[in-house]
């Protein structure tokens, strides 16, 4: 998602300089207003999140949590659209953008999210993501794809439990070593 969001940022930069649409006359903001970058970014995020939650996320139960149901994922996606609508409305209300600038930004964000999701889906199916992650450069940078293969909350919890047990054993060993010396 991060790479797609950065691509969306670059696309917005290019579109603003190509279209050169002025902001509403009452506002003294710098830069061009068409398309609205806030609308584009927030709609990219909620469309990509929705696609991820519905098509790529595969929740599995564990000892520490119950996975999210389809209804819970749909609710989360719906809330993301509510917040996106609030951001878009605020851009018009605060007169940073016209309605058309916000609509075009939203459309560009949605199309970019769908396209990026499609590209990453194809890349996964052909093994290109895994191939890239195994490259020397990305291995040196410790870049990983944890979102699909690993539950971040679960792995964090397991890591914490292991470190906690190790520290507890070290403390017991130090205490027993001191006791034996006396």
Alpha helices in 52-127 (DSSP H): 70-93, 99-125
The pLDDT tens digits of the residues spanning 110-134 come to 999 999 999 888 888 888 888 888 8
Task: Give tens-digit pLDDT for 49-107.
Answer: 899 888 877 666 666 666 677 788 889 889 999 999 999 898 888 887 888 888 988 89
35 cis-preceded (ω within 30 degrees of 0): yes
6's tokens: 């950065």
Nearest residue to 8 via CA among 117, 123, 109, 81? 109
CA pair distance 74, 80, nearest whole angstrom: 10
The yes-or-no verdict on residue 3 having pLDDT over 90 is: no
SS3 assignment, position 116: helix
User: Which tokens hold the place of 83?
Assistant: 């917040």
Nearest CA-CA partner of 133 in 148, 145, 116: 145
Per-residue CA distances from 172 to 6, 29, 111, 165, 169 (Å): 49, 63, 58, 11, 5
Looking at residue 81, what is its pLDDT? 93
Confidence at residue 62, expressed as pLDDT on a 0 to 100 scale: 63
């Amino acid at each position: 998602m991060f790479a797609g969001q950065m691509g969306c940022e670059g696309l917005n930069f290019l579109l603003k300089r190509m279209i050169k649409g002025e902001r509403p006359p009452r506002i003294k903001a710098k830069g061009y207003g068409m398309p609205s970058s806030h609308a584009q970014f927030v709609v990219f995020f909620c469309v990509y999140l929705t696609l991820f939650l519905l098509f790529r996320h595969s929740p599995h139960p564990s000892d520490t949590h119950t996975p999210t149901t389809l209804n819970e994922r749909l609710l989360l996606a719906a809330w993301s659209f509510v917040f996106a609508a609030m951001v878009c409305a605020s851009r018009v209300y605060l007169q940073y953008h016209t309605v058309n600038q916000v609509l075009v930004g939203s459309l560009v964000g949605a199309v970019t999210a769908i396209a990026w999701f499609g590209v990453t889906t194809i890349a996964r199916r052909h093994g290109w993501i895994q191939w890239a992650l195994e490259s020397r450069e990305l291995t040196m940078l410790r870049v990983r794809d944890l979102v699909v293969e690993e539950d971040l909350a679960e792995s964090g919890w397991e890591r914490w439990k292991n470190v906690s047990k190790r520290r507890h054993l070290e403390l017991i060993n130090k205490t027993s070593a001191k006791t034996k010396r006396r």
